[in-house]
Structure 1
Amino acid sequence: MRTPRVVIVGSSVAGVRVAQSLRTCEYTGEVVLVGEELELPYDKPPLSKGLLAGGERAPKLSLLSAEEADAAGIELVLGRCAVHLDVPGREVVLAGGERLAFDDVVIATGARARPSPWGRPDGVHVLRSLADASALRADLARGGHLVVIGGGFIGSEVASTARGLGLEVTVVDPQAVPMSRVLNPEIGRLFTELHERNGVRTRFGVGVEGIDGVRGALRVHLSDGSVLDAATVVIGIGAIPNDGWLSSSGLRVDDGLVCDEYSRAVGAPRVYAVGDVARWYHPTYATLVRVEHWTNAVEQAACVAHNITHPERPRTHAPLEYVWSDQYDWKVQIAGRTGGDFEHCVVTGPEPGRSFAVLYGDSDRALRGVVAVNWVRALVECRRALSDGGAVSVGEIREKIASLVNPKPRLDRANSNRAPMRSSGSPSLDP
């Protein structure tokens, strides 16, 4: 009788955590972890922060050493690219024709940086892999003006790191404010000011028409007719799931592998997906979602490992979104759903002008999300409230986190007790 086998395709955090969680769940079969890169599995969030900074701030990236894999009975197949999933035959086909049989398969191929629509002259970078970060680090070490195209998490973190290295930096984005997917315009402007206080020039609300030149002498042409000279350019305009290799599988692929609430591919109960490549039915939101968050990848991996080892009592995956970002001297933590679709209020934290929490509520004023800056205790209280399924109102949690500050803080001037929720206006964080 053949020993059961789980094949995991993808060796980043989602894939590694599935493999480790299978052993925690006492799975006794074979576990095979396939990775496209030759490097041992490594963590990716530090690529835009500590790794770029280098020196004493360079972090340890390892997720799984060869010794740890051997001790856990995890077979590593690295430097191999999966090109086809044979669902009826239960085989993963690798480049070169090798086939890996499986009883269960987990798709953890993640996402890749959205490619540059302006080409990739020498000195123009995207940032998704260790090789990307190493190449960018070498160019940053040469100095000169850095232009970052894209004001989302990656672009903002790269800008912050580059300023810490002493580079001249400009951030360009067609959106009016940075991180516009999770911040409404009023709050986004606070992050624009954060860039500018740290010496970064910002060109929000302006698009890019083209890039030409060579490393050290690049030219970025903007939609308003102006041109930025740059030594190096970083493009951070989002990510797209690595699902193209599944197009011949017969599975439903639509901005990721489409799965049910148990993270099982629709119509294929022995095929699972985790992390950035998974698009699954979220039972709380009653819709398909795809989440590009490290925390989601870890939590979904544990859920999938349980469902493989306990198929008779599967668990749904209904996470509370959580993401963090380190920018300059701000630690930004976001939980739940935030942005322009919700009304919001701002509560000043223990360090006026530097710490605050933005509470987001729906039309019934139930708490739906929070952005906490340099205020971990507020984040903890809000995450606890959000985990209660919306039973806590914005007013209740506002009073609770305000009471954490001693002396008791006031709400900022744009958010008085007479108007605890609002959808317009500009918040002030002045002490």
Structure 2
Amino acid sequence: MPGHLAAVVEELQRGGRAERQIAVPLALRAVQQDVRVVGVGVADDAVAHNRPPLSKEVLAGRATFDSLAFRPRASVADAEWRLGTKVVASRLGERIVLLDDGSQIPYDALVVATGTRPRRLRCPGPLAGRHTVRTLDDTRVLRDELSRPGVRVVVVGAGFIGCEVAATAVGLGVAEVTVVDPLSLPMVAPLGELLARALLKRHQERGVRFALGTAVAGFEGGDRVTGVLLDDGTVLPADVVVESVGSLANTEWLDGNGLDLADGVLTDEHLRVGGRPDVVAVGDVARFTNARYDGVPRRVEHWCIPTDTARHAAKTPAARLTGGAARSAPFAPLPSFWSDQHGFRVQSFGAPALGRDDVRVLDGDLAGDVLAGYHHDGRLVGVVALGGPATVSAAARHRAEPLRQPAPHRPRNPLT
């Protein structure tokens, strides 16, 4: 059926990961060569790019900006890539998306891949000197700031990006690096207390300072930040502040369509949005259930999720555009993430956050390389390695074994 249009809505600057989310149009082309693919997005420097290295290799100068650039595969190279354009609204009932240049794009199948943007602190004080790490331009500017002699850096947020930026800054020889977080330990939400304490010790041994259990109340300075005021009254001197306090899903353009946008876009087990057969959501904007675990819809911002969601979601528009029926098992991916800090790696497979209350050392010890298992209701649901290559390889071997079989499918619609 020639003439069908698949509109891939992809804010490449903020959603990113396009090199994997194009699995959706690739799957469509596999079943129908004449499908028209339109990609819409805002891209800094008109270049879509891979994001994980920004806070590590690129910020440290070990990778070039050009090495991250996304080059469309031949099978979608003839797609219409409308970079520098932003989707501002949609009328799903009419199958139309509206762009900021006043134009409209009709579609037969719509892929929501608008990703996230950094959350910013709403505190009084100057804006100059405050940074996020999300785009190539963000990293370029921050790297120049960190190269100044005697610079003092305060990182707000002890999650993935915050810990990586702190480690990178220390490696660059920054004079003083302090991490602030209202929680009691770095990365405690995904890792639990056992490994988070081990991670804290490693950072402290390498010169990173921490102000934990306290929040930012404001920023001091005139035209530019000179200090960070904490809610306990402490003032941390700061020439540079990096805000790493989470993300917000880019869903505003979907307002008015009767969707659940409370935290990203709620989907069903086939990644359909609002139960519609013509709209799917992929990547870290999608809030989906995972049949492998507890069935609670969640957004997952790990590197693997854009690929996994795109491959699963592609079956729905592919079936629609070819007149077939989409038949697939409920979505049951095995999440994974890694984080490189100070020359060691944190490598995870599964859902350790579900097993934070029952963590057991499987191999090694907390003073050195360690492999930990995370258990929920007595069952292994995740493994995390902290250390060098051998320990990471051990985690990968556990990945090859089923951490937990997907739960039996009970037909239901989480949107109702």
Specify whether residues 300 and 179 from structure 1 end up closer, same or farther in structure 2 by C-alpha distance, changes over 3 A only: same
Q: How far apart, CA to CA, are the structure 2 residues paired with 1:276 and 1:101?
A: 24
Higher relative contact order (CA 8 A, sep 6+): 2
Aligned to 2:308: 299
Unaligned 5+ segments in structure 1 are 392-431
d(CA) in 1 for partners of 2:190, 2:346: 12
Counterpart of 1:396 in structure 2 is none
| Matched pairs, number | 387
TM-score (norm 2): 0.86
Greater alpha carbon shift after TM alignment, 160-169 vs 334-343: 334-343
The within-5 A match list for 1:225-264 is 225-264=233-272
Name 2:381's counterpart in structure 1: 368
- The percent of aligned pairs where both chains have the same amino acid is 36
User: CA, structure 1 residues 187+281, in 2 after alignment: closer, same or farther (shift >3 Å)?
Assistant: closer
Aligned to 1:427: none
Report whether the alignment pairs 1:385 with 2:397.
no
Q: Which residue of 2 aligns with 1:166?
A: 173
Structure 1 counterpart of 2:158, which letter? Answer: G
Q: CA deviation at 1:298?
A: 1.1
Conserved 8 A contact 2:356-2:374: no
Q: 1:17 to 1:49 in 2, by over 3 A?
A: farther
Please, what TM-score do these two structures have when normalized by structure 1?
0.84
AA paired with 2:338? W
Select 2:359's aligned residue among 344, 365, 376: 344
In 2, the alpha carbon distance for the partners of 1:29 and 1:89 equals: 20
**Do the aligned partners of residues 25 and 304 (structure 1) sit closer, same or farther apart at CA in structure 2, a change above 3 Å counting?**
farther
CA displacement at 1:293 relative to structure 2:
1.1
SS at match of 1:264: coil
Secondary structure (helix, strand or coil) at the match of 1:333 reads strand
- 57 and 165 in structure 1: CA distance in 2 versus 1, 3 angstrom threshold: farther
AA matched with 2:83: L
**Cα-Cα RMSD:** 2.4
**1:22 maps to what in 2?**
28
1:127-156 Cα distance to aligned partner (Å, 9 max, x none) = 222222222122112240110000000000
Q: Report the alpha carbon displacement of residue 89 of structure 1 after superposing the two structures with TM.
A: 1.5
- Identify the residue that residue 408 of structure 1 maps to in structure 2: none
Look up the match of 2:40.
34
1:136-147 to 2 correspondences below 5 Å: 136-143=142-149, 144-147=151-154
Cα distance in structure 1, aligned partners of 2:27 and 2:39? 13
Conservation of the 8 A alpha-carbon contact between 1:7 and 1:32: yes
User: What is the aligned partner in structure 2 of residue 411 from structure 1?
Assistant: none
**Residues 187-225 of structure 1, C-alpha deviations (whole Å, 9 max, x = no match):** 211111111111111111122111121577511011222
Corresponding residue for 1:280?
288
Q: Contact 1:7–1:104 at 8 Å: present in 2 too?
A: yes
The 3-state SS of whatever aligns with 1:228 is strand
Partner residue of 1:329?
343
Residues 104 and 390 from structure 1, CA distance in 2 versus in 1: closer, same or farther, beyond 3 angstroms? closer
Give the deviation of 1:307 after TM superposition: 2.7
Q: Is the 8 A contact 1:123 1:215 kept in 2?
A: no
Residue 94 of structure 2: aligned partner? 89
Structure 2 stretches lacking a partner, 5+ long: 408-416
Aligned partner letter, 1:36: V
The alignment partner of 1:183 has SS state of: helix
Kindly indicate whether residue 134 of structure 2 is the aligned counterpart of residue 128 of structure 1.
Answer: yes
1:16 touches 1:33 (CA, 8 Å); kept in 2? no
What whole-Å deviation, never above 9, does each CA across 1:389-424 have from its counterpart, x for those lacking one? 189xxxxxxxxxxxxxxxxxxxxxxxxxxxxxxxxx
CA distance in 1, matches of 2:32, 2:88: 30
Distance 1:128 1:114 in 2: 11
For residues 2 and 23 of structure 1, the distance between their equivalents in structure 2, rounded to whole angstroms, comes to: 12
Residues 1:116 and 2:146 aligned together: no
Pair 390,77 (structure 1): closer, same or farther in 2 beyond 3 Å? closer
In 2 relative to 1, CA 353–107 (structure 1 residues): closer, same or farther, beyond 3 Å? same
